[in-house]
Amino acid sequence: MKKDFEIKSFNFITWNWKNDVVIKDVKKEIDYQVDKCNINTITFAFSAVQEHCYSTKIYWQGDHMPVEEELSELVKYAKNKGLKIILKPMLNVSDGYWRAYIRFFDEDVPCEPKWSDWFESYNEYLMNYSMFSEKNDVDMMIIGCELVGTDHRETEWRSLISKIRKVYSGKLTYNCDKYQEHNVKWWDALDYISSSGYYPIGTISKELDRIETVVNVYNKPFFFSEAGCPSIKGAGKFPNDWTLILDGESSEEEQYKFYYELLEESSKRDFVNGFCFWDWPMRLQSTKEKSLPKDYSVKHKLAEKIIRSYFEN
């Protein structure tokens, strides 16, 4: 498949807009990503919340969510720098469980939470940002992230996609979870296939071969809408395990080795159209000190240099 526009980006994240976002500082972070990492796309990622995995009410308004006038200003700033824009409205669970476990009975049961209620709330959330994206000339929307328990609800997802296309003219994709690319049966309704590339060191080549078979079935461009590894010793074997950050031993080299393998193997596959790496906080990060944060961020770390070298090509 001929490559589409190659995405060179990071998930530019905040879980609490009010606490994290100072516009002048966020603009500095955009400038840094351009100057030091050679990005061509900004992926604005933020998250609504629901109380637990069986809640049907999604809270997508409040201090944790973007102030739309400020988000508009940041989108305009990035576009004026020649960057493309991806909007990624995500969903987290307040009690700490991973969003992949959101699930309900497949048949409605009286007095039990229902898929219809959850999708109604999720539709309201996504339609708001679809209209925002159209108004602000956003290039692409990621309409869901790692909602594994919902992937089989094909009818509801197709209905949502149809509604979004009536108000938004940009590109659409869904960020499926690692190992789930073949389980999403509605890729044909979207413009891109995308997934989370948290594949252990030593297995990336095999997983790329597997993903390519899915891409060939649907004949859609593919990119990794997430991929990364924390700078923790041993994290290369478990790049999706963020809990290693809590007690692990810092290792820039471990993070570098993960990125080297992912980028090197991906560069051999024409079907890979780029990356939105995880992650880059919107909150202004400090300058390099003796001890760097043990997290997914690559800022000031060895992995930053290898990403730049691949993004320059």
pLDDT at 285: 64
pTM > 0.85: yes or no: yes
pLDDT at position 290 over 60? no
Confidence of residue 305 (pLDDT cuts 50, 70, 90): very high
> What mean pLDDT value characterizes the chain?
95
pLDDT digits (tens, 9 = 90+) for 175-197: 999 999 999 999 999 999 999 99
If you compute the radius of gyration of the chain from its CA atoms, what whole number of angstroms results?
A: 19
pLDDT digits (tens, 9 = 90+) for 2-51: 566 899 999 999 999 999 999 999 999 999 999 999 999 999 999 999 99
pLDDT digits (tens, 9 = 90+) for 117-138: 999 999 999 999 999 999 999 9
pLDDT at 29: 97
What gap in Å lies between CA 181 and CA 183, rounded to an integer?
Answer: 6
What's the whole-number mean pLDDT along residues 240-260?
A: 95
- Residue-range domains of the chain with CATH: 7-311 (3.20.20.80)
Q: Which residues contact 243 (CB under 8 A, 6 or more apart)?
A: none
Residue that the structure tokens 């629901």 belong to: 50
Q: For the chain, give the percent of residues with pLDDT over 90.
A: 92
What torsion, rounded to 10 degrees, do the Cα atoms 50, 176, 69, 166 define?
Answer: -100
What's the whole-number mean pLDDT along residues 137-148?
A: 98
pLDDT at position 115 over 70? yes
What gap in Å lies between CA 9 and CA 84, rounded to an integer?
Answer: 10
Confidence of residue 225 (pLDDT cuts 50, 70, 90): very high
pLDDT at 1: 52
pLDDT at 293: 82
Which CA distances in Å does 61 have to 50, 231, 263?
12, 33, 37
